[in-house]
């Protein structure tokens, strides 16, 4: 639902992942609320395999969230603007 960028917090010396709702979607209040609800729900979780949400916020025409960048490599690629593109997951196996 959002575009994810890698950024650097110069004052704290840490890498961040910045997720921004595309500007054309910020015109729809329902989408903005859903984006913010997703960020609030993610911030309530605490698990070693999940990233920590540092901040969420909105400005006119912009909605975004910042999170810890975990430095993971793997199945990811970037589009022509430098945004991370989600890879399609492979087949899953059922566990008994």
Q: Which among 59, 76, 63 is positioned nearest to 19, based on CA atoms?
A: 63
Report d(CA 1, CA 47) in Å as an integer. 22
pLDDT (0 to 100) of residue 30 = 92
Class for the domain spanning 3-84: alpha beta
pTM (2 d.p.): 0.63
> Six-digit token pair at 17?
């992942």
Are 75 and 60 a contacting pair, CB within 8 Å?
no
Tens of pLDDT, residues 48-75: 777 888 888 888 888 888 887 776 554 4
Q: Which residues of the chain have pLDDT under 50?
A: 74-75, 87-96
Are 59 and 23 a contacting pair, CB within 8 Å?
no
């Amino acid at each position: 639902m959002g575009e994810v960028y890698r950024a650097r917090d110069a004052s704290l010396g840490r890498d961040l992942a910045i997720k921004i709702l595309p500007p054309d979607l910020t015109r729809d209040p329902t989408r903005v609320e859903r984006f913010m609800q997703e960020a609030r729900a993610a911030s309530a979780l605490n698990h070693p395999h999940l990233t920590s949400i540092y901040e969420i916020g909105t400005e006119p025409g912009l909605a975004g969230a910042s999170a810890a960048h975990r430095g993971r490599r793997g199945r990811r690629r970037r589009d022509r603007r430098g945004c991370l593109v989600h890879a399609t997951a492979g087949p899953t196996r059922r566990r008994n």
